[in-house]
Amino acid sequence: MCGIAGIITANGTKPDERVLDALSKALVHRGGDGVGRYVSNGVGFIQTRLAIIDVEGGKQPFFDGENVLVANGEIYNYLELKKELADVSFSTHSDCEIPLHLYRKQGLEFIEKLRGMYAIAIHDHESSRVILSRDSFGIKPLYYAETSKGLVFASEAQAIIATGLVSAELNKSSAFELLQLQFTTGRQTIYKGIKRVLLGETLIIENGKITETRLRKALPETGVVKIGEEEALDRLNDILENSVELHQRSDVPFGMFLSGGVDSSVILALMERLNSNPVMAFTAGFSGTKVHDEREHAKKIAKAVNAEHIELDITEKDFWKHLPEIAGAMEDPVADYAILPTYLLAKLAKPYVKVILSGEGGDELFAGYGRYRSAIRTRFFAKKMRRKGAFHGLGILRDESSGWRDGFAEIENIKRPNLTKLQAVQAIDSTDWLSNDLLIKLDRCLMANGIEGRVPFLDMEVANFAFNLPDNLKIKGKTGKWLMRKWLEKHFPVSKPFAPKKGFTVPVAEWISERGSELGHLVAIQPCIIELCKPEETAALFSSSGKKAGFAAWSLLFYALWHRKHILRLKSEGDVFDVLSERL
């Protein structure tokens, strides 16, 4: 796990070392175990390393005599691929050396055998081209900008801005999208001129220009595979065990985030099965608030497998104190209140582990969201699955048009003729919500604390199996994730998989309302809020009650803090009130 970046100059001249210095400095938090650099023939790469596998010998860049590679990620099946490459002389024991040799043998097809998460850059000397490639679920981030000096890329958008080749200029339409959705979609980021390499995309770059693109899709498009429940349970057991086993490959300590829900319970049970030492599990909760606290149930199931269980009690004081710091870490902004526990759990875990396994993807692949039930209803009873924005009907925004829907409307309108209605909705969520909210949240919150996040449910083998399950093995009646619950009932019954779901939430609305009058005024006078919202209605919103008003207030608070840090480029020192009170 690392940060990577580089520049491919437009005219083949030597890259400016100051640009590479700026990229390296901006990404140092993604890896404090070393910095690598490569410069040749109009191409410059840097890599900041978080050493996970081959701690001593796996320094990047990697060279094979013809080509050069830097990578951010993990190739979990690297041992199996090494056996297939028996004629290759490897210079390290690193998993990320594998793609370099696959590229030399297979060219642009090199990604087809990779099981893992990755953002990869390769300089091909013979063809004088650079290849950028990102994994199919977008677990690892990769951004680029086409400038007069050439194409610059990096693991984080803020690193591109740090070079001075692109300014921190707001894309206003994306700002409305962020407020309404809590994330932004597609290729265009919230910064003008900075784009995302799409999920599963490979870019071919020559002389600082993109000349070709290729796409590796994450989910199959063949439709449902017929299978009975018992056979499906046996296959699920084998596939999940294999995925968790691969995701545990590490030369450093690892643990997991335990919520006590279905996804984390599955991971806990499998980690306990596969390890002789106790599993290290971390759980967050919120004492003295109205939201459901998951720690008691998490403690019970952790005790059942003798896990080393560490709890974190997040308070209102923590919220005010750490939110500016957390918003600062989310340079590709995600206004998901789960950034609070994710970031603080990572901070808690840092002295103990360097790798965390987490349950992202379980809901999308095994159909855990309540809205999925609408997708399988008969046409007479079906509801249109049209998402409404967080500010719908509140009269807060200056622009009430539906333009903010354009990004995911494009994804919704993709034709998927072979898929069931449920699969089509799952595919939409996997393309926008999963990649642009949940996975960005996990990456930034953990990498800011020097921890690698791994997601066993997003292994390609798991995804191919789960997505093609019949609808009735995903949802029965009002119960989602049916097959996963049946697996837990059989293998880990103490987790109570069929107990009514309480749902995970963070009491941000409760905390905000307690200081609503003071906070509403401070948020309403921020220039970025005045630009998008009506000040009087904004201030009043923070004193309003109700779930919808509370979530909208949270979104505006996050946006105000984010904008000060990443657009105005101001320091975020002190708590929420200190930061918002500071004069511009």
Query: Which of 157, 186, 215 lies at the terminal end of a domain, its last residue?
Result: 215
Q: Give the closest residue to 6 by CA, choosing from 167, 171, 150, 186.
A: 150
Question: Do 528 and 569 have their domain in common?
Answer: yes
pLDDT at 103 over 50: yes
Question: Do 240 and 208 have their domain in common?
Answer: no
The token pair at 9 is 């100059």
Least confident of 23-37, 66-80, 412-426: 412-426
Q: How confident is the model at residue 383 (pLDDT cuts 50, 70, 90)?
A: very low
Is residue 181 in a domain? yes
pLDDT in tens, 153-165: 999 999 999 999 9
Question: Do 383 and 521 have their domain in common?
Answer: no
The four Cα atoms 162, 167, 169, 174 give a dihedral, to 10 degrees, of -60
Is residue 98 in a domain? yes
Question: Do 129 and 276 have their domain in common?
Answer: no
Q: How confident is the model at residue 382 (pLDDT cuts 50, 70, 90)?
A: very low
The four Cα atoms 504, 510, 511, 517 give a dihedral, to 10 degrees, of 150
Look up the domain containing 526 and give its range: 508-581
Cα separation, 27 vs 241, in Å, equals: 34
Q: 191: which strand partners?
A: 170
Is residue 274 in a domain? yes
Give me the CATH number covering residue 252.
3.40.50.620
Confidence (pLDDT) at 380: 36
Cα separation, 133 vs 216, in Å, equals: 10
Query: Which of 171, 187, 215 lies at the terminal end of a domain, its last residue?
Result: 215
Confidence (pLDDT) at 247: 98
Question: Do 574 and 473 have their domain in common?
Answer: no
pLDDT in tens, 489-507: 999 999 999 988 776 789 9
Is residue 143 in a domain? yes
Question: Do 192 and 239 have their domain in common?
Answer: no
Confidence (pLDDT) at 346: 98
Question: Do 413 and 557 have their domain in common?
Answer: no
Question: Do 330 and 242 have their domain in common?
Answer: yes
- Are 50 and 16 in contact by the 8 Å Cβ rule? The answer is no
Which secondary-structure segment (H or E) carries 445?
helix 439-447
Q: 39: which strand partners?
A: 44
- Are 208 and 10 in contact by the 8 Å Cβ rule? The answer is yes
**Burial track 54-79 (b if 16+ CB lie within 10 A, e otherwise):** ebeebbbbbebeebbbbbbbbbbbbe
Give me the CATH number covering residue 136.
3.60.20.10
Question: Do 123 and 259 have their domain in common?
Answer: no
- Are 239 and 462 in contact by the 8 Å Cβ rule? The answer is yes
Query: Which of 460, 495, 530 lies at the terminal end of a domain, its last residue?
Result: 495
Q: 38: which strand partners?
A: 45
Q: How many domains does the chain have?
A: 3
pLDDT in tens, 165-197: 999 999 999 999 999 999 999 999 999 999 999
Cα separation, 354 vs 255, in Å, equals: 8
Is residue 447 in a domain? yes
The token pair at 105 is 């043998």
Question: Do 464 and 519 have their domain in common?
Answer: no
Is residue 222 in a domain? no
- Are 162 and 145 in contact by the 8 Å Cβ rule? The answer is no
Helical H segments across 471-546, by residue range: 482-491, 508-514, 516-524, 527-532, 535-541
pLDDT at 424 over 60: yes
Q: What is the mean pLDDT of residues 251-263?
A: 96
Which secondary-structure segment (H or E) carries 201?
strand 201-206
Is residue 35 in a domain? yes
Q: 315: which strand partners?
A: none
Question: Do 520 and 570 have their domain in common?
Answer: yes
> Under 8 Å CB-to-CB from 460, ≥6 apart: which residues?
115, 136, 218
Is residue 223 in a domain? no
Which secondary-structure segment (H or E) carries 26?
helix 17-26
The token pair at 578 is 């200190």
Q: What is the mean pLDDT of residues 241-267?
A: 97
Question: Do 239 and 205 have their domain in common?
Answer: no
Concatenating the DSSP letter of every residue in 412-434 gives: HTS--TTS-HHHHHHHHHHHTHI
pLDDT at 378 over 60: no
Confidence (pLDDT) at 583: 81
